[in-house]
Structure formats: structure tokens, C-alpha cells
Structure 1
Amino acid sequence: MEFWSGAESLPIYGFLVRAAIVYLYIFLIVKIVGQRSMGSIDALDFIFGVVIGDILGEPLSDGSVPLTGPMVAAATIAGLHLSLCLIALKTPRFRRVIEDEPIILARNGVILHQQLKKVKITLESFMMDMRLNGASDLSEVDYAVLEMNGQISVIKKSAYDSATPNDLKQTTPNKGYPTVVIEDGHIIEANLKNLGTMDWLRELIHKEGYANPKEIFFMTIDEAGNVYVSPKQTTNQVKKGR
């Protein structure tokens, strides 16, 4: 059992067994914590990955370190991480504490230099991201938004969308930045104040075919008045692929 308890002169096979155990253990932890998109990793996931890697990496390089302590510590960190994620899913206000809000960096083709300074992004780096998003001409940009994962997303003006209404010489209103009104059945009152009253929202919800906000998982309204609604799904609906 030297591969588990550790030894000053741990043989090669001990390191091989340790590597297999740690790999399977990390695989199990990741499966329990849940699948996340690597492209949308946030600060909390990054910290979790770094800490887990540091804790379980030491026994792989130092044969004298027993496996019990690092594996218990890794399980504790994973439990805390999973608990924070579950609390964030259930409590939108707590979600705002552990997840950064999207930050608008450009509006109507105008760069908000104070916002760039706030998030410590240079103009050169911002322009590089614009080019990578196919928006080198800022006059075509309606909004540029720094997302919670550190990437910049671009919303182009309607005239320059891939549907090419500009090619058809049509005048279309700019969609603008969609505002989240309902999230997981909860009304975002701070955002609603910029759009209308509670009575107006209730009337809109009824118009969309829902009795109350709790039936809606996600609802946004853009500056052109376009409404997007994603309803809550029951377990049976998810199984049926609805």
C-alpha cells in the first residue's frame, strides 16, 4: 500500500497507480459537479480547476505524500463549488455576487472608453476582438459586450446582419441590446424599470400565452420591442425533447 500511504523511495509502479487513481478521481469529481462549456468558463470554475489541480498534483510529483489528505481536500473543494453553483441556480440575487454582470463596451458604434478603462482592456486589444468577431468597421456595431467569461460579443446593427436587409435597401429598426426581464421565473425589477411598469409586463406575459412569470424560464426584450420567451420545462417535456 505504499502507493497510497507514500514512501520516500516510491517505486515507478507506485506513481503509475497514483496517476490512474487521481485521473479517475478527477473524472468522477467533474461528472458530479456537472458538465460545463470550456468556452464559457467563469472565475469560479477557473479557481476550482486551479485549486483541484494543485491539490491532486502534489502526490503525483512527490511520492512521500499520502493520497488520503489531498483526496479529502479535493472532495471538500468540489462540494463547496457544487454548493455555490446550486445556490446560484436557485437564487438569482446570489448569482449576481459570484458571477460578473455583462459590461457594455461600445454602444451605437461609439466606444465607451471609461468602460474599457474600468475593465482594463486596451484599445488595441478591443479592436483585435472586434476583428475576430468580423466587426472591424465600428459603424456597423450596435453593441459590444464583455461577457462574464471574459470574451467580447458583438451585436451588429440590423442593416448589417447576415439576413442582409441592407442589400434589399430596407430600413429596419436597430434591435439593440436585449434586456433580461425574467430569469428562472423571477422578474428582474431593476431592468423592468427601464422598460415599463409591472402591469405592462403582466399584460405582455398574458399576450405571449403565459399565466404568470413562474411559467417562464427566460424572457428578454430588445430596443425594437421584440420579445423572446423560453418557457420552463417539466421533467416529462425534457424527456420527450420538447
Structure 2
Amino acid sequence: MFDFWTGAPDLPVYGFLIRAIIVYGYVFLLIKVLGQRSMTAINPIDFLFGVIIGDVVGEPLANGENPLGGPLAAAALIGGVHLFLSYISLKMPRFRRVLEDEPIMLIEKGHILHEEMAKAKLTVEGLLMDLRFNNAIDLTEVDYAMLESNGQISVIKKSRFDSLTPADMGQFPKSKGYPTVVIMDGHIIDANLKKVGDRAWLQNVLQQNGFNDAKDVFLMTADETKKVYLSGKKQVKSG
């Protein structure tokens, strides 16, 4: 009856399905406990944790003879060690340098540091590719470029090549804030509506944009300046 947990040479299909559900839920819970991380900014210790966890809990899903308890216990221990190391690195900056590599300066004041590129094992082609990803095609515009600990390259352009901002022109527009979803798939989200207006304001906005009812709207957002985006179920409007 509990072959899905203890393992068996002829584990039936439903046993693998139960194992898959258990492992998925367990890893999901483990990730939630460890905290949210950005996948685009993963550092080496997070990558190592992901690889080991995947190998430990993945084996019982491929081999029905292996018991499930041992791998889950090992995964919990690895997760605990990872959480402990993350906490220590947060509290002790010196120890953080052991877990996370220091950023490497690749370009300084417009000059490419080829010795640092060799240290980072980065080719000129690789550097140029990363600069293109950062919208820095022209090397004469680059002031600094850093290889960050997560493997990405950050670029700081020379001041004269910075984009012109409203502040540069003596203008100080009101902050737009974060767009709030007011209507989603025809349903009004009252908690969000209170942040930007009331029902009367909403009905007025809908009529101005050619909608008689919120049920005709697929998505509506509004920011702090009450700038509205409306996408109908049959057409797209903005205002």
C-alpha cells in the first residue's frame, strides 16, 4: 500500500504519480521557506543548491526501487544548510565574499582592462555581446562596465551620453506610481479601485472609452496620476 514511499522493483504507475506530487509540493514548500530569488540574478551558491536538490529528489522519480524518505530528508538538510549560509552571509560581509564573488571591473573610464577580462575568462566577443544587451553598442559611450557576481554585466555610460530626463529640462512631473489592476476579465477589483477612485469615477472612465459595463473590459489599469489603460474583450483602447 505504501510502496510509493518505501519503493518497489515493480512500482506501479500510480506510485510514480504520487511520488511526483509529493516531490513537487515538497520542493515548492522548500523554496518558499528559503525565500524568493530572481532567476535572472541567481548566484553560484543558489545554482549549486538547485542542481543538488534536483539530483537528490529526482532520483526517486526515475527509479521506483529507491525509498522516498531518505532523499526528502537529505533535501531538507541541504535546504537548511543553504538557508544558514544565506543568513550568515547577510550578517557577516566578510563571509559573504567567500560565497559570492566580488564584481570585476572590465571597463574603467572607457579603457578595457584586458587583465581583468582574462581573470573573468571573458572574450572580447562575449564582452561586446553583453554590451549590446545593455544598449551600449558604441564603446566610446561606455564609462564603466562591471561583471557582477551573478554573471551579468552592468554598464554605466559617460554622463554626456545619458538619456535626457525631465529633471534635466527643469521639469518635475508627478510620480506615476505602480499601475493598479482595476478590472480583470470583466470583474471589478474593489480593493484596487479604492486606491485610484470610486464607482462613479470608474463608470465615467468606461463611458469615455466606449464601454457601457465593466463586463465588456478584459483588463483595466490605472496609476497614481489616474492615467488609464483599457483593453476590451473585443478591442483595445487606451487613455
Q: TM-score scaled to structure 2, two decimals?
A: 0.68
SS in 1 for 2:16: helix
Match of 1:77 in 2: 78
Answering whether residue 108 of structure 2 is matched by residue 118 of structure 1, we say no
Mind listing any 5+ residue stretches in structure 2 that lack a counterpart? 170-239
- Please state how far the C-alpha of 1:136 moved relative to its aligned partner: 1.2
Quick one: distance in 2 between partners of 1:131 and 1:31?
35
Residue 164 of structure 2 aligns to a residue whose secondary structure is coil
Question: Residue type matched to 1:52 in 2?
Answer: I
Q: Is 1:12 aligned to residue 8 of structure 2?
A: no
8 Å Cα contact 1:109/1:142 also seen in 2: yes
Identity score, percent: 61
Asked if 1:144 is matched to 2:150, the reply is no
CA distance in 2 between partners of 1:118 and 1:74 (Å):
34
Match of 1:56 in 2: 57
* Pairwise CA distance, 1:54: 0.1
Deviation at 1:72, TM superposition (A): 0.7
Residue aligning to 1:174 = none
Shift in Å at residue 24 of structure 1?
Answer: 0.2
Say which SS state the counterpart of residue 67 (structure 2) adopts: coil
Offset, 1:164: 6.4
Give the equivalent residue in structure 2 for 1:42: 43
> Quick one: distance in 2 between partners of 1:164 and 1:115?
33
Distance in 2 of aligned mates of 1:14 and 1:162: 59
Aligned residue type for 1:121: L
Aligned amino acid, residue 70 of structure 2: G
In structure 1, what is the Cα distance between the partners aligned to 2:133 and 2:110? 16
> What pairs with 1:1-242 in structure 2 (closer than 5 Å)?
1-163=2-164
Q: How many residues in Structure 1 have an aligned counterpart in Structure 2?
A: 167
CA deviation after TM superposition for structure 1 residue 83, in Å? 0.2
**Mapped contact 1:141–1:157 kept (Cα < 8 A):** yes
8 Å contact from structure 1 (residues 141, 156) kept in 2: yes
1:76 match: secondary structure: helix
1:189-226 deviations in whole A, cap 9, x for unaligned? xxxxxxxxxxxxxxxxxxxxxxxxxxxxxxxxxxxxxx
Name the counterpart of 2:203.
Answer: none
Aligned to 1:207: none
How much does 1:117 deviate? Answer: 0.6
| Structure 1: 4+ residue segments shifted above 4 A | none
Amino acid in structure 1 at the alignment position of 2:163: S
Displacement of 1:159 in angstroms is: 0.8
Taking the aligned partners of 2:140 and 2:109, their CA distance within structure 1 comes to 8
Larger Cα Rg: Structure 1 or Structure 2?
2
Say whether the 8 Å CA contact 1:110–1:138 is kept in structure 2. no
- Superposition deviation, residue 163 in structure 1: 2.1
State the TM-score, normalizing by the size of structure 1. 0.67
Q: Is the 8 A contact 1:142 1:156 kept in 2?
A: yes
2:72 counterpart letter in structure 1: M
Q: Deviation at 1:46?
A: 0.2
User: What letter is aligned with 1:122?
Assistant: T
Render the CA deviation track for 1:23-59: whole Å, top value 9, x for unaligned.
0000010011111111110000000000000000000
- Distance across 1 between alignment mates of 2:120 and 2:135: 22
